[in-house]
Amino acid sequence: MSLKDKVAVIGVGCCKFGENWTQSQEDMLVEAAYDAYGDARIEPSQIQAAWVGIQYASTGMAGIGLADPLKLYGIPVTRCENFCASGMDAFRNAVFSVAAGVYDIVMAAGVEKLMDAGSRGLPGTGGGHPFIGGVSAPGMFAMAANRYMDKYGITKETMGKVAVKNHYNGAVNPKAHFQREVDLETVVNAPMIASPLGRFDCCAMTDGAAVAIICRADMANKFRDDPVYVKGLGLSVYTGQPNYDPNFDYLGFSSTQHASSEAYKQAGVSNPRKEISFAEVHDCFTITEILNYEDLGFCNKGEGGKFIEEGISSIEGELPVNPSGGLKSFGHPIGATGVRMIYELTKQLQGRADGRQVKNPELGLAHNLGGPGSVACVAILGW
């Protein structure tokens, strides 16, 4: 059974991403949700169920993390936590509930308040193992970068071009965290975070919230004449301890490969390079975007470097990737990111991505990756 064309996105909302010192998670959720209500032209009381992606308990616990700020009382509200893919998994659960015929109109939200944690990198989640496991996010992807550089001979410059591209796109996006371009020299010479990844190879710490309102496909035109439809949705989980798996090659993530092939199958996509018009992918680190090109089937194994070098993923390119600015420039409030990608896909497909609009998009792909490559979620939206 395919999900294709059963569910429509009728409204999206997003707050300004950034170091939102003066805003609480409530402020950001209220902004994003009322932006989405307005976009969908519905009243809050029309929401029948909701899911919210939150990674850190300090941002919010349980369903009340969303229900309390929005006063969404009396309906089912569920917190969804699946590492950095929490937001898109919230969207996925919302879509399934509508596709199953249980609800007509539901909300998928994502939020993270990282700056209140006061840590230099992502805050700890507490518990876990005293010493087995434990690598920072930059550390994990840096180990992939070292292996990839050794195998395919790409340089820091190649990775740096991902940052240059995404900052170029984000520079004109009014809701992006960093609305400024960076040059390659700055990226390559930035202080090291986890070798070979420097500061500009890494996405920053960002606060933000995003909301999508979805409904049954057959009623979408009642709300607007340009709804977009869910064509495919896949999620895949692999090990949380890849560093102990003797068969893991660090050259890509099985989770992304499986989630995307599932989504392609549902959407009827057989040649993603040709059929996907543009993509919002999980560029938590520059190397990750290069690995994503390959894992998503945009190019062959080992050709991710060429893909960025040749400008295929630039906004004017054949397959623009991260026209929003991506996690690098738009920001990555963990639980919010997956829903923020749905926001961007919708705006682009509707031709409402001012200043960063890709040409004549028909199918957009969003890809959310969590943990040390442990969980990936891929959504394909289109007309």
Partner 1 sequence: MVGIRSFGGYIPKTRLARDEIAKAWGSGSMGGEKAVCNHDEDSLTMAVEAGINCIEGIDPKTVDGVYFASTTPPYKEKQSSTLIATVLDLGRETITADFTDSLKAGTTALRAAMDAVKSGSAKNVVVATADARPAEPESMFEQTFGDGAAALLISDQDVIATIEETYSIADEIVGLYRRDSDNYVRQFSTKFDSQFGYSANMVEAVSGLLKKSGAQPGDITRACLYAPDPRSLLGVAKALKLDAKTQLQDPLFLGVGDTGTPLSLMMLVNALEKSRAGDTILVASYGDGSDAMLFKVTDNIETISPRRGIDAYLNSKMPIGNYEKYVRYRNLMQKDKGTPFSSATLLWRERKQNLSLYGVKCGNCGQAQYPMNRVCLKCGKRDKMEELKMARKGKVFTFTLDYLASGPELPVPRTVIDLEEGGRIFLQMTDCDPQSVKIDTQVELTFRKIHEGGGFKNYYWKSRPAMG
Catalytic residues: 84, 332
Question: Which residue, 74 or 126, has its beta carbon nearer to partner 1?
Answer: 126
CB 122 within 8 A of CB 84: no
DSSP labels for 239-281?
Answer: -S-GGG-TT--SSS-HHHHHHHHHHHHHHT-S-HHHH--EEE-
Q: What is the DSSP letter of 165?
A: H
- DSSP annotation of 197 reads E
Interstrand relation of 49-53 and 105-112 (parallel, antiparallel or unpaired): parallel
- Show the tokens assigned to 293: 């090109």
- Supply the minimum distance, in Å, between the C-beta of residue 306 and partner 1: 22
> For the chain, percent helix, then strand, then coil, each to nearest 5?
40, 20, 45
b/e sequence 210-247, b meaning 16+ C-beta within 10 Å? bbbbbbbbeebeebbeebbbbbbbbbbbbebebbeeee
Minimal distance, residue 168 CB to partner 1, in Å: 27
Residue placing its CB nearer to partner 1 in the complex, 139 or 302: 139
Determine contact, residues 346/331, Cβ cutoff 8 Å: no
CB of 302 to partner 1, least distance (A): 17
β-pairing verdict for 77-80 and 105-112: unpaired
376 near 86, Cβ under 8 Å? Answer: no
Contact 236, 258 (CB under 8 A): yes
Task: Give me the least distance between CB of 198 and partner 1, in Å please.
Answer: 9
For partner 1, the closer CB: 70 or 137? 137
- Rounded Cα–Cα distance for residues 260 and 31 (Å): 31
CB of 254 to partner 1, least distance (A): 12
Nearest-approach distance from CB 242 to partner 1, in angstroms: 9
Q: How far apart are CA 70 and CA 31, in angstroms?
A: 10
Instruction: Select 175 or 332, whichever has its Cβ closest to partner 1.
Output: 332
Q: Which is nearer to partner 1, 51 or 248 (CB)?
A: 248
- As measured in angstroms, the least distance from the Cβ of 164 to partner 1 is 22
**Cβ closest to partner 1, residue 250 vs residue 343:** 250
Q: What pairing do the DSSP bridges indicate for beta strands 375-382 and 228-237? A: antiparallel
- Note the residues at the interface with partner 1 (CB under 8 A): 120-121, 126-133, 135-136, 138-139, 142-144, 146-147, 150, 191-197, 239, 241, 243-247, 250
| Residue 324 or 374 having the CB closest to partner 1 | 374
Q: How far apart are CA 171 and CA 383, in angstroms?
A: 28
- What tokens appear for 218 in the block? 């057959």
Number of other residues whose CB lies within 10 A of the CB of residue 264 = 23
Q: How far apart are CA 167 and CA 200, in angstroms?
A: 10
